[in-house]
Amino acid sequence: MALKSEDIGKIRNAEISDIERVVEIANSSLTEYYTTNLMMDLYHSWRDAFMVYTLNDRIIGFIAGGKFSRTEARILLLAVEEKFRHLGIGKALMNDFIDLCRMHNIMSIRLEVRTDNTEAIHFYQKYGFSTISTIRAYYSDSSDAYLMWKLI
């Protein structure tokens, strides 16, 4: 499915009214189970870093970030509705998140990713993220995660 020029979406800051849709995308795209309460906590932790990608006013992707410290941010969740993947939406969300981090004088970004999620690992590597360690039994099903990190 190719996006046409008139279909180009936009990124905006998430609003409370977006949370239910974000939960839907997260639970259909990611392997963990996410609740509305958790998403609300993420939303309130750093509102500027909770962004949604909309196409014709429908949310089809999102990124949620947090501040790990004064100089380090963390990508907590990044997901795009399955039928809209590989169209540059994740890239656009990532670029806006990195720009936001630079505006806040963040020096590095970290994230966790399943060790078997090769597609996501390659995506993050394209952005200069490096695997710095493995976190054993990180996920609820006891799967391992890679801790990835990038200087910006």
Domain residues for the domain of 21 are: 5-110
List, in sequence order, the alpha helices (H) in 56-152: 89-103, 118-126
Asked if residue 72 belongs to a domain, the reply is yes
Tokens (6 digits) for 150: 């990038």
pLDDT of 40 above 80? yes
Which band of pLDDT confidence, cut at 50, 70 and 90, is reported for residue 3? low
pTM (two decimals): 0.93
What is the distance between the alpha carbons of residues 18 and 23, in angstroms, rounded to a whole number? 9
Q: Residue 124 domain-assigned?
A: no
* Residue 7: band (very low, low, confident or very high) from pLDDT cuts 50, 70, 90: low
CATH of the domain at 88: 3.40.630.30
